[in-house]
Amino acid sequence: MTGGHVVELKRNRTRAVKIGSITIGAGHPIAAQSMTATHTQDVAATVEQANALHAAGAGVVRIAVDSKKDAAALPAIRAGTPANLAIDLQENYRLAVDVAPHVDKLRYNPGHLYHHEPTKPWQEKVKFIAGVAADHDCALRVGVNCGSVDPAKKEQFDPEDSIGPMLASALEHCELLDSIGFTRYAVSLKDSDPRKVIDVNRRFAAERPDVPLHLGVTEAGMPPDGIIKTRIAFEQLISRGIGDTVRVSLTVPNVDKPQEIAAANQILADIAAGRVRSVVDYGLASLNIISCPSCSRVENEAFIDLAKQVKAMTDYARDHAITIAVMGCRVNGPGETDDADLGLWCGPTHVNLKKKSVELGAFPYDEILPRLRAELDTLIAERA
Ligand code: SF4
């Protein structure tokens, strides 16, 4: 890991949404969430997992409830764990009545509301869910998922445009909830493609900067790839103030579920310290030095020291809005530095230097700093 300089993260001014003992939004710390993978009716196993996630630092633990039998297990689960609990309402939205007394948050998917009672308008169903949530002191999440968007919404968009229907669906649900005076909700817009997650959440936040966002990449897969995909999306969103709670979804054995919380908290800490794998612009009018969090691919141990030295050497330019990226290897370094004003990526014996996407050459480790300084001076002069 490279030494931390703390980045003053700007956060969108979202509403405060209380979920049990925590509050998300309004500048509160970004909460990591996870989900139990046990059979919900196996109360002992579910309680054990909820407690393990809670102990790992989960702000909210979600439990799958698909039937009245699952719902019947909730009072005993509630009694066995201090975790803040959330459940997903699947197609049977009326199950809200059975679960809400025992949990802190209900999640519904707008794309699932048309299955049951198809002639009933979705607006009536949302009003029902919000009414139950309000009666039982629960928050709501409007969870829009790329794989299950309301077909009526899809029809209004080009079949190639998967973002448009998700965004429109989320926005109209927010509008309805606001119109009935229910504002204790967050929104999630998830996809398995991190680029789409970035795009749809940025567009949503531009329209509704007041609504707290729950970020996640679906079907991210196994570590380390699943963590990397999610990390890229979170880096690009959280660095720009978007996101109030996060889930890293990983394909791991049940006992390893707390890894989701550890991964989420590591990513959040890295973003706050400028340790990032993609080039991020924190939107600040000051020098932005980012360095990858390092991994087994690092080509030379000197990378860690180099990142620290770059930070110290460039301090004189702290008031210039310039991004310098320091990456540890040739696998990701060449591509990931393209968006930085000046980029360095490390090889076994040399450090490669770039100005935007233009390569300036490879320099021995003991020559790179003066060379970087010369380029930085030139850049400052060009922009003066
Ligand atoms: S840039 Fe290379 S060394 Fe750094 S985290 Fe990415 S893959 Fe690992």
pLDDT per residue as tens digits for the range 263-283? 999 999 999 999 999 988 888
Residue 276 beta carbon below 6 angstroms from any ligand 1 atom: no
Neighbours of 224 (CB within 10 A): 13
- As a dihedral over the C-alpha atoms of residue 267, residue 273, residue 276, residue 280, rounded to 10 degrees, the angle is 110
Query: Are residues 33 and 174 both part of a single domain?
Result: yes
- Does any domain span residue 50? yes
Contact in structure between 81 and 47 (CB atoms under 8 Å): yes
User: Of ligand 1's atoms, which has the minimum distance to the CA of residue 292?
Assistant: 4
Predicted confidence (pLDDT) at residue 351 exceeds the cutoff of 90: yes
Q: List 358's β-bridge partners, or say none.
A: 355
Predicted confidence (pLDDT) at residue 1 exceeds the cutoff of 80: no
Domain boundary among 220, 247, 273: 273
Atom 5, ligand 1: residue with shortest CA distance: 294
Query: Are residues 258 and 300 both part of a single domain?
Result: no
Query: Are residues 304 and 258 both part of a single domain?
Result: no
- Does any domain span residue 322? yes
Residue 295 beta carbon below 6 angstroms from any ligand 1 atom: yes
Residue of 232, 235, 294, 296 to test ligand 1 pocket, by largest number of atoms within 8 Å of CB: 294
Q: List 111's β-bridge partners, or say none.
A: none
Task: Describe the strand order of the beta sheet including 350-355 as a list of residue ranges.
Answer: 288-291, 323-327, 342-346, 350-355, 358-364
Tell if the pTM clears 0.85, that is, is over it: yes
Query: Are residues 300 and 151 both part of a single domain?
Result: no
Q: Which tokens hold the place of 92? A: 């049977």
Query: Are residues 49 and 142 both part of a single domain?
Result: yes
Confidence of residue 82 (pLDDT cuts 50, 70, 90): very high
- Does any domain span residue 347? yes
Predicted confidence (pLDDT) at residue 222 exceeds the cutoff of 90: no
Q: How far apart are CA 351 and CA 88, in angstroms?
A: 49
Provide the residue range defining the domain that includes 350.
Answer: 288-383
Predicted confidence (pLDDT) at residue 40 exceeds the cutoff of 50: yes
User: Of ligand 1's atoms, which has the minimum distance to the CA of residue 303?
Assistant: 3
Residue of 2, 276, 329 to test ligand 1 pocket, by largest number of atoms within 8 Å of CB: 329
Q: Which tokens hold the place of 192? A: 């398995």
Q: What digits encode the pLDDT tens for the residues 279-314?
A: 888 888 899 999 988 888 888 889 989 999 999 999
Query: Are residues 97 and 236 both part of a single domain?
Result: yes
Atom 8, ligand 1: residue with shortest CA distance: 295
- Does any domain span residue 119? yes
Q: List 326's β-bridge partners, or say none.
A: 291, 344
Output the domain CATH number for residue 357.
Answer: 3.30.413.10
Angstrom distances, CA of residue 308 to CA of 52, 63, 96, 315:
36, 43, 52, 11
What are the residues whose beta carbons fall under 8 Å from the beta carbon of 9, sequence distance 6 or more?
238, 239, 241, 271, 272, 282
Domain boundary among 225, 249, 273: 273
Q: What digits encode the pLDDT tens for the residues 146-190?
A: 888 888 888 899 988 999 999 999 999 999 999 999 999 999 999
Output the domain CATH number for residue 120.
Answer: 3.20.20.20
| Single-letter amino acid code for the residue at 180 | I
Closest CA relative to residue 77, chosen from 48, 35, 107, 108? 48
- Does any domain span residue 5? no
Domains contained in the chain, number: 2
At 5 the pLDDT is 59
Residue of 326, 331, 354 to test ligand 1 pocket, by largest number of atoms within 8 Å of CB: 331
What are the residues whose beta carbons fall under 8 Å from the beta carbon of 239, sequence distance 6 or more?
7, 9, 271, 276, 280, 281, 282, 283
Tokens 């390092």 locate to 294
- Does any domain span residue 163? yes
Query: Are residues 313 and 243 both part of a single domain?
Result: no
Average pLDDT for 67-72:
94
- Does any domain span residue 300? yes
Domain boundary among 273, 297, 324: 273
Query: Are residues 266 and 304 both part of a single domain?
Result: no
